[in-house]
């Protein structure tokens, strides 16, 4: 038989332990919440490559990052993906209105920043999402005999881009993912901006979709970094 007072004395102890565990879990959850924006951002080691690929979306920042890497001498060409066939462009075409795509703007930005016109190439395969861009880039490398590529995208989009490449393409051709530091996204303070909150939420869902093998297909959007 337990001595008198044992049960009464253990209840407060259990409550204190439960409170302590709850505080630890709360603190760890808060730290994870704060750091998730920085966790999304990855940068691979830079090596000389066959091409720099500017993914569609986030105009003008990704093209600005591509121009910077070109000027630093990391690759002799800059390739642009062509987002076509998506809902907004189709609707404009039906109205008889010419709609410029991201590749058109990115070409102008690159040339404005000193990239020679003959060093800029459009990947011919139309794309709808990041996975399409990854596959089109790998196909272009295969056709040109390339062995390595640098992909430039928004900081928050780098981890997912690398995950999609590794799942769809593997380790060869060699990939270096680079964030466009010109992008205003603030990874260490992402929760202070409604637009950054939306981007982080979409990237986390996109990463989950990528890890599951991309079972969810996009309906079509002009912001490829969101799909």
Q: pLDDT tens-digit profile of 69-105?
A: 999 999 999 999 998 756 666 777 778 777 788 999 9
Could you report the per-residue pLDDT of 148-202, keeping only the tens digit for each?
Answer: 999 999 999 999 999 999 999 998 899 999 999 999 999 999 989 999 999 999 9
Q: Is the pLDDT of residue 223 over 60?
A: no
Of 21, 48, 61, 40, the closest CA to residue 153 belongs to 61
Q: Cβ contacts of residue 38 below 8 Å, gap of 6+?
A: 187, 188
Angle in degrees, CA 54, 59, 65, rounded to 5: 45
Q: Is the pLDDT of residue 225 over 50?
A: no
Q: Is the pLDDT of residue 21 over 70?
A: no
Domains assigned to the chain:
51-184+191-226 (3.40.50.620)
Mean pLDDT of the chain: 86
Q: Is 225 exposed, middle or buried (0-12, 13-18, 19+ CB in 10 A)?
A: buried
Q: Which pair of structure tokens corresponds to residue 197?
A: 């909150």
């Amino acid at each position: 038989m337990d001595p008198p007072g044992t049960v009464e004395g253990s209840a407060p102890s259990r409550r204190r332990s439960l409170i302590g565990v709850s505080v630890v879990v709360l603190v760890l959850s808060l730290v994870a919440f704060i750091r998730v924006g920085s966790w999304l951002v990855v940068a691979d080691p830079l090596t000389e490559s066959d091409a720099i690929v500017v993914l569609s979306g986030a105009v003008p920042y990704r093209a600005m990052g591509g121009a910077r890497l070109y000027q630093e001498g990391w690759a002799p060409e800059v390739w642009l993906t062509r987002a076509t066939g998506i809902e907004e462009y189709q609707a404009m075409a039906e109205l008889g209105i010419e709609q410029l795509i991201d590749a058109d703007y990115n070409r102008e930005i690159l040339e404005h920043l000193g990239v020679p016109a003959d060093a800029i190439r459009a990947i011919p395969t139309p794309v709808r999402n990041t996975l399409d861009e990854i596959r089109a880039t790998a196909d272009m490398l295969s056709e040109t005999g390339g062995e390595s590529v640098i992909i430039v995208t928004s900081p928050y989009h780098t981890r997912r881009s690398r995950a999609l490449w590794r799942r769809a393409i593997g380790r060869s051709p060699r990939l270096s993912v680079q964030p466009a530091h010109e992008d205003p996204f603030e990874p260490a303070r992402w929760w202070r901006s409604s637009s950054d909150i939306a981007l982080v939420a979409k990237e986390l869902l996109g990463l989950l979709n990528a890890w599951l093998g991309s079972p969810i297909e996009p309906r079509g959007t002009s912001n490829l970094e969101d799909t």
